[in-house]
Chains A and B, each alone.
Chain A
Amino acid sequence: DAKTTQPPSMDCAEGRAANLPCNHSTISGNEYVYWYRQIHSQGPQYIIHGLKNNETNEMASLIITEDRKSSTLILPHATLRDTAVYYCIVRVTDRGSTLGRLYFGRGTQLTVWP
């Protein structure tokens, strides 16, 4: 499985942008990068995913480097409710399908302070 490396913790002031880095230097050409977050006592929540191009949705932006060896999740205006563990995941494929499992590491604990 392609593994990811994330800092164990980060903090951010409320209202500022939170930039969460992730290294995935062994990623294969057909593997997607996914980001999830998990708030205490809840299941992981899907945020965003991408293959090669940068992506944006209502929650966040995902910036993937041209060589695809790293990516950054950007929360443009962090709020207290964004405090959570953020997981960067490379999706294992199953015989070429993208239905394969996700491998979670330990993620980054993001703390947003007032």
Chain B
Amino acid sequence: GAGVSQTPSNKVTEKGKYVELRCDPISGHTALYWYRQSLGQGPEFLIYFQGTGAADDSGLPNDRFFAVRPEGSVSTLKIQRTERGDSAVYLCASSSQGGGSPLHFGNGTRLTVT
């Protein structure tokens, strides 16, 4: 079946601009996660949703970052007033409910802020 889909695969933007990154999870998965990964580092947790609500947003670095999941399926990560330090690969993952259910990751969106 279809896996986690992220669009766009690459995004180049200028410093100060606003960007939106989209994630389509695996159908039926109730939990959705956003991570970001800088070169040479492991993925860093940002936020996770259970259904429509953010169950844990403790990883969002500051208030320029925001994520929504209005219908409990597709999610959008929004970054305002982008900075060069925001350049990274943004990864999305989803999982089904139930003990120990693994996360399934997309291939990410590579964001470059110039």
Asked whether, in the complex, the Cβ of B100 is within 8 Å of the Cβ of A106, the reply is: no
- State how many angstroms separate the Cβ of B16 from the closest Cβ of chain A: 28
B108: interface (CB < 8 Å): yes
Q: Which residues of chain B are within 8 angstroms of A41 by Cβ–Cβ distance?
A: 107
Q: Is the CB of B102 within 8 A of A46?
A: yes
Query: How many inter-chain contacts with C-beta < 8 Å in the A-B complex?
Result: 61
Which secondary structure characterizes the binding site on chain A? loop
Q: B42 near A42 (CB under 8 angstroms)?
A: no
Which chain A residues border B53 with CB–CB below 8 Å?
A: none
Determine whether A21 belongs to the interface, using a CB cutoff of 8 Å to chain B: no
A105 at the interface (CB under 8 A from B): yes
CB-based contact B33/A101 at 8 Å: yes
Known: A32-B100, A49-B100. A43 touches B50 (CB 8 A): no
